[in-house]
Each structure stands twice: as structure tokens, then as C-alpha cells.
A and B are shown apart, each in its own frame.
Chain A
């Protein structure tokens, strides 16, 4: 600040570069800027939509979550009190929320692995065995995904009907008396999980089929020559190669399942005795009752759960090799350099 440090001879003067540098600087930025402008231009429709319909509401809901806003404040939404984290404390203390959280955890912990396993199994079978009717099966499994949940609910209610339902009829052939699925606190949730699995395997099968195409046949052939059986090849070749696909499948299924709502909404209304009440459904109810602040706080808790679940999945299924390689990459150059110098 007091004295300029003495410049070493030959060093470029600070501030101004060599005579030909400024021209380069002057010619570059316009193109740069033009490109940036073009990029923003292309991104603009999305940015506008995102700010208006996503970022705005998200900020607003965050503001709602820390106030005591209720339906009676509809006309003057600014006439509310700031309550800090009170809503979140209330959420944690709400026995209904805890029940809903436990139900949702049950649904996710059983549902996600089950869905992944079933769709992977179907995808492997479709990929290996069935070639002629592949399209037929793909359409068949994908159908539930594109069918309206309301229609699905009606059909499933028939299937699960205690007296005339197909399921209990079939169980009856084996001498098993099936329960009243949707009216039983024990069986309503498994019924929901079964229905959700059936509804979501379609998408995953398509994704896994694509992933299976990426498994090199040469590896399979080599392993077969070495005497590996089908299970070993699946376990040590197919599964590791499919890891990124599995991760993707687990993440999107997990996100969807944590927000589990439609099934109880159309089938059980959260009953019997709240055994199928999910967090999203509870939040929906609270919004309906006009407890906007409380419901907003609850949806942030749900959002956190999604984030945590996704992080866990990345940890469990993430590309471990890449992480190790990158660390090695970071450490290595120095060593290589010193070795080279030593040589």
C-alpha cells in the first residue's frame, strides 16, 4: 500500500500487458459476451418459467413455513406473525405426523428394494430369454405407468375385495383364507406396496433393459469360458456394470416413493386407523384444513427426507471406482513428476 514492490527485471508491468495483449483481450470478450448472451437467450424460457413457477413458490413456501399463516389470512397474507421454527417443533411433536413418517418409511424401505428387484428380474428375463414377444411384454409392463390411477384403483379394489376378489379367490384354491386387504391394519400397507410396485416397474424395466444393453457380451463370454455359472456372471458382471443405471433407478423410485400419496388417496383415505397415512397425504390434509404454515413446514421436512435418502443411495450405489481414481489422480502428478525428475 505504501511502496510498490520493486519489479524484477523482465517481468511484465502490472496493469498493462505487452503491446499485442490488449488487442487479444479486446477481440475476445465480444465473442465471449455474444456467446454468453446467446446462452442466456436459450436458457431464458426455462429461467423465466423456473423463477415464476418454481423458485417463487419455493421461497414463498419457505416464508410460510416460519409464520402462523392459516386460511383466515387469505385476504391479507402479510398480517401474520413470524413464529420461527415453531411449526417445525409442532411437526416433530405431532403424533399423526410420526405415524405418517413411520408408514412412509415402511413403504419406502420395503417398496424401493422390492420394486428394483422385481424390475431388474423382469428386465433380465426380457433381455435374455424372450426375443420374439419383447415388444408385447414391454408394452404390457409399461401399461400401468400410463394408466390413470383412478381406473387402477377401481380395478385393484375389485382384485382385493375380500369375498369376490380375484386374489382371495386364488388363495382360496390353496385353502388359504385371504384377509380383507384394505380394511386390515396389517395388510393394507402391503397391498399399497404391491400396487405401487406394479405401477412403477414399467418405467424401471425400460431403463434397466437399456442398461443391460450396455453390458459387454465379451465379458460374459470370457467368464463363461472360465467356468462361471449364470448367477456368478449376473452377480459379478451384470450388476457392477449396471451400477449407474441401478443408482438412477433407485434415486427416481426413492424420490417418488417418499412422496407416496396417490395410492392411499384413492384406495384407503389413509385408513384403516391411519395405517396407510403417508406424510404427503397428511400434508395434503393439513393444507386442506387451511393450516398453510404448518403444512409448508411439513413439506420441508419431507423434502429433507428426500435429500437424505438420495444421499444415502449415492453413498451405497455411487461409482466407488471413480471416486478412488480421482483421489489417485490428485495425489499422483507430484509423484510422477518427481520420479521423472529423478530419472
Chain B
């Protein structure tokens, strides 16, 4: 007993000693003045470049970079494929342990969090930011400094039955959903009623109404605004009017849509493949349109970025690889390899993409697509939005009260900048 107490006291003392050495040195590091990026030296890349990539990208990037190795004979690109589920923790662990690769693929919504640790290298002048879609380029902007480049993008459009008129404004979307129901569909439109990722379906409407999540420099939330309330009320109207389901069982969206039981839904480019696989012949009855416009046009832009780590042993070569991957011709070749939509606007002029029957809509939508603010706490704020949207859709919460709640909780979380 006595001994346990003594051991416990010793442990506490050690902990206390350890803590005495703690404390944030400065009010904040990595804020205030934008970080300056060092230049990248000229000439061919050399040495080993270690790259982490997730999903299909991870599986195919290794073979794809053979072309880069041909241009730069001294270079050895080593790609490690990591599963999406484990990627966030693996990158976090690598940063904590100081064992980062040279380049990593990063989900756009993680940018703020990882950039705030100071582990990412600011984008050098080698990369031309204007070449990318604006929304995509903004997803790399954390507190005024760009970290990394957008690699591929995705955006949300409206999938609807071809016999329905494609809506141009909010009233049009409501009318379309009502028409679909009048024509026999069980539900006019499917909008995600809360739960993980619902904010990605809702935020386009908020942006269309002119709402902004944060102020210019991302230090304060501006969620509780009349525009946001308007968007929330509009979103809610689909559920209160019985046009959208609140409890669609998992996995029944696609079959119901192809069977004509659901008139429309909002989703990204991957759904073209899913629907084709489900019912290739039925695709004749499916049409894609840009999301309707509110005050302005907007959609959500997602995808993945490429970032170089500050601790990279081979920084210059790493940036050269990133630059090569963001050239329009490489982006087209990459699209042909894994169907990732190019983040570089000029790549969309290539016939391989321009002639595709469905992609045009995505290209058009990308022009106005908006990225969520790249603040370190975004994932947490987004989960608050998901929860509150669920309350809005299922429990009939008041839009104004929902906006206030999101604002309060977001303020409690902080922007982290």
C-alpha cells in the first residue's frame, strides 16, 4: 500500500516536472504574417521521393509516375498506398513522430488541421495558383498561406429523372420535386437529412444564399446570418412539405432513384459509375444539371490535395513531382488512369474530358464551386452542422434557432487559427 502511494507520488512528481517545462512559447505560431515559401532550385529532380496516397490513387500512382522518372532519370518515386480510413491518423502519427514522407495526398477538409501543426511546406512560386479552379485553390489556403496544391476535384450536381425540367433557381427545384411526386414518385428529391457529411449537401444552398461561414481571415464565425437562416429554412421546407425523405434506409437511394421512386438527388461524380453499374440501360432516363442558383451559383468542392512536408529530406524534388502532377497534360493522363477530375481548369479542354456526356455539367459547376473554410477545426464544426441539420430535418427545429446554435457551438470550438 505504502509502496503504491510512493510510486504514485513519484509518477505525479515526474508528470509535474514534465509539465513545468511546458507552455506555449508564443501566443501563436504559424498565424499572423503569412509564411514565406522558399524557392525551388532549377534542374531535374533526383533522389528518392516518398509519397503517400489513399484509395485508387495509392494503387495507381506508383506505375503512373514512371513517366516522371523518365524525365528525371535520377529520381526514384516510392508510393505507399494507405487506406482512407487510416489515412488521417497515420498522417497525424507521422507528424507527431517526425517521420513524415516527402509528399502526401491530403483530404481537402484536413488541410487546416495539418497546416496548423506547422508540418506542411508553403507552396513555392514554382506552382501557378491561377491555373486551378478558384474553389480548389482556396482549399489549400490556411490563414493566408497556401500549403500544397489541389490534385483532383469533385463537386456536387443535381441528378434527376430526364423527364423532369432541370431547375435554374430555388423555386424551380421545389417545383421539380413537386412535379416528380405528382407524376408518381414517392419522394421528389433526396437531400441528406443530417448525419455524417450532410453539410456537404447543405452548404451549397448556404453559399447560394450568400452566407459565409467565417470572416475574410478565418478568425471569426459568421454563421448566424439572415442568409444562413434563409438557406436553412429552404432546406427544411423539403422535409416539412413531404418532398424529401427523412429516414431513407442505407443503400436504397440508387435502386429507388433508378426505379423512379425518387425524383432527384444531389451528389458527386462517383454516382455516374454507381448508377451505370446498377442499371446501364436506365441511364437514358437520368439527366445531370448544375445545382439551382439562389442569389448566386454555388456548389461544394471536394477532392484531395497534394502537400509537401517541411521535414522532407528531398523537398525540391518533391515539389517538382507535385508540379509535374499538376500540369494539364499529366492531369488528363491521370483522369484517363483513375477517372479523377482535373483540378487544373485548362485540362478540361482536352477532348478526353470535354467530349464526355456527363462531365460537362461538373466542369460547369466547378467554375462556381466553393471550398469550406480551411480552418484547423473545420471537421468538428462540420459535425456540429451535421447534427443540427438532423434536428432541422427530423425534429422540425426552428431555422433561426439552428443557425444560432451552430454559431454558438462553432464559437465554443473556435477556428483554431
Q: B-contacting residues of A (Cβ < 8 Å)?
A: 59, 62-63, 66-67, 70-75, 77-82, 157, 161-163, 180, 182-184, 269, 271-274, 285, 288-291
Counted as pairs of residues, one from A and one from B, with CB atoms less than 8 Å apart, the total is: 94
User: Closest CB of chain A to B375's CB: distance in Å?
Assistant: 11
Q: How far is the CA of A66 from the CA of B98 in the complex (A)?
A: 24
Task: Assess whether B376 is in contact with A290, with CB atoms less than 8 Å apart.
Answer: yes
| CB-CB nearest in chain B for A73 | B117
Contact with A along B99-136 (1 / 0, CB 8 A): 00000000000000100111100000000000000000
Task: Assess whether B391 is in contact with A71, with CB atoms less than 8 Å apart.
Answer: no
Within 8 A of A (CB), among B327-386: 376-377, 379-380, 383
User: Closest CB of chain A to B188's CB: distance in Å?
Assistant: 19
Q: Which residues of B contact A62 (CB under 8 A)?
A: 15
**Top-10 shortest CB links A-B:** A183-B247, A289-B380, A72-B116, A74-B96, A74-B95, A82-B19, A74-B117, A180-B247, A271-B195, A78-B22
At the interface, yes or no: B11 with Cβ under 8 Å from chain A? yes
**B contacts with A: majority SS:** loop
Q: How far is the CA of A162 from the CA of B395 in the complex (A)?
A: 20
Task: Assess whether B249 is in contact with A162, with CB atoms less than 8 Å apart.
Answer: yes
| CB-CB nearest in chain B for A162 | B249
Query: Can you report 20 residue pairs joining A to B where beta carbons are below 8 Å apart?
Result: A62-B15, A67-B19, A67-B22, A71-B92, A71-B376, A72-B116, A72-B117, A72-B416, A74-B119, A75-B98, A75-B117, A79-B22, A79-B24, A80-B24, A81-B24, A162-B249, A163-B249, A269-B196, A288-B379, A289-B380
Task: Assess whether A78 is in contact with B98, with CB atoms less than 8 Å apart.
Answer: no
User: Closest CB of chain B to A262's CB: distance in Å?
Assistant: 15
Contact with A along B253-268 (1 / 0, CB 8 A): 0000000000000000
Q: Are A271 and B390 also in contact (CB < 8 A) when A82-B22, A290-B113 are?
A: yes
Task: Assess whether A273 is in contact with B395, with CB atoms less than 8 Å apart.
Answer: yes
Q: How far is the CA of A130 from the CA of B226 in the complex (A)?
A: 69
Of the residues B11, B19, B24, B96, contact of A75 by C-beta under 8 Å? B96
Q: Which residues of B contact A182 (CB under 8 A)?
A: 249
**A contacts with B: majority SS:** loop
Task: Assess whether A272 is in contact with B92, with CB atoms less than 8 Å apart.
Answer: no
Q: Which residues of A contact B15 (CB under 8 A)?
A: 59, 62-63
| CB-CB nearest in chain A for B194 | A271
At the interface, yes or no: B18 with Cβ under 8 Å from chain A? yes
Q: How far is the CA of A162 from the CA of B252 in the complex (A)?
A: 11
Q: Which residues of A contact B391 (CB under 8 A)?
A: 273
Q: How far is the CA of A184 from the CA of B395 in the complex (A)?
A: 11
If A63-B15, A162-B249, A272-B194 are given as contacts, then 19 extra A-B residue pairs at C-beta distance below 8 Å, sorted by A number, are A59-B15, A62-B15, A67-B22, A71-B113, A72-B116, A75-B98, A75-B117, A78-B22, A80-B22, A81-B24, A82-B19, A163-B249, A180-B247, A183-B249, A271-B194, A273-B390, A274-B387, A289-B380, A291-B380
Q: Which residues of B contact A273 (CB under 8 A)?
A: 194, 387, 390-391, 394-395
Q: Which residues of B contact A78 (CB under 8 A)?
A: 18, 21-22
Task: Assess whether A79 is in contact with B23, with CB atoms less than 8 Å apart.
Answer: yes
Task: Assess whether B18 is in contact with A288, with CB atoms less than 8 Å apart.
Answer: no
Q: Are A72 and B113 also in contact (CB < 8 A) when A183-B247, A274-B387 are?
A: yes
Q: How far is the CA of A340 from the CA of B246 in the complex (A)?
A: 82
At the interface, yes or no: B4 with Cβ under 8 Å from chain A? no
User: Closest CB of chain B to A17's CB: distance in Å?
Assistant: 27
User: Closest CB of chain A to B306's CB: distance in Å?
Assistant: 20
Q: How far is the CA of A274 from the CA of B11 in the complex (A)?
A: 38
Q: Which residues of B contact A71 (CB under 8 A)?
A: 92, 113, 116-117, 376
Q: How far is the CA of A274 from the CA of B92 in the complex (A)?
A: 27
Task: Assess whether B249 is in contact with A74, with CB atoms less than 8 Å apart.
Answer: no
Q: Which residues of B contact A66 (CB under 8 A)?
A: 19
Q: Which residues of B contact A285 (CB under 8 A)?
A: 383
Q: Which residues of A contact B383 (CB under 8 A)?
A: 285, 289
At the interface, yes or no: B273 with Cβ under 8 Å from chain A? no
Q: How far is the CA of A273 from the CA of B387 in the complex (A)?
A: 7
User: Closest CB of chain A to B411's CB: distance in Å?
Assistant: 14
Q: Are A75 and B379 also in contact (CB < 8 A) when A67-B22, A273-B394 are?
A: no
| CB-CB nearest in chain B for A80 | B22
Task: Assess whether B379 is in contact with A289, with CB atoms less than 8 Å apart.
Answer: yes
Q: Which residues of A contact B380 (CB under 8 A)?
A: 289-291
Q: Which residues of B contact A271 (CB under 8 A)?
A: 194-195, 390
At the interface, yes or no: B2 with Cβ under 8 Å from chain A? no
| CB-CB nearest in chain B for A75 | B117
At the interface, yes or no: B25 with Cβ under 8 Å from chain A? yes
User: Closest CB of chain A to B328's CB: distance in Å?
Assistant: 35
Q: How far is the CA of A107 from the CA of B249 in the complex (A)?
A: 23
User: Closest CB of chain B to A286's CB: distance in Å?
Assistant: 8
Q: Which residues of A contact B376 (CB under 8 A)?
A: 71-72, 290
User: Closest CB of chain A to B233's CB: distance in Å?
Assistant: 20
Of the residues B22, B117, B194, B387, contact of A81 by C-beta under 8 Å? B22
Q: How far is the CA of A71 from the CA of B380 in the complex (A)?
A: 12
Q: Which residues of A contact B246 (CB under 8 A)?
A: 183
Q: How far is the CA of A184 from the CA of B116 in the complex (A)?
A: 39
| CB-CB nearest in chain B for A165 | B249
| CB-CB nearest in chain A for B248 | A183
Within 8 A of A (CB), among B12-40: 15, 18-19, 21-25
Q: How far is the CA of A182 from the CA of B248 in the complex (A)?
A: 10
Q: Which residues of A contact B23 (CB under 8 A)?
A: 79-82
Of the residues B25, B95, B119, contact of A79 by C-beta under 8 Å? B25
| CB-CB nearest in chain A for B18 | A63
Q: Are A269 and B195 also in contact (CB < 8 A) when A67-B19, A75-B98, A75-B118 are?
A: yes
| CB-CB nearest in chain A for B397 | A273
Q: Which residues of A contact B98 (CB under 8 A)?
A: 75
User: Closest CB of chain A to B152's CB: distance in Å?
Assistant: 24
Max chain B Cβ within 10 angstroms of own Cβ: one of A272, A274, A291: A272
User: Closest CB of chain A to B409's CB: distance in Å?
Assistant: 9
Q: How far is the CA of A184 from the CA of B394 in the complex (A)?
A: 10
User: Closest CB of chain B to A27's CB: distance in Å?
Assistant: 28
Task: Assess whether B11 is in contact with A59, with CB atoms less than 8 Å apart.
Answer: yes
Q: How far is the CA of A74 from the CA of B376 in the complex (A)?
A: 13
User: Closest CB of chain A to B385's CB: distance in Å?
Assistant: 13
Q: How far is the CA of A78 from the CA of B249 in the complex (A)?
A: 46
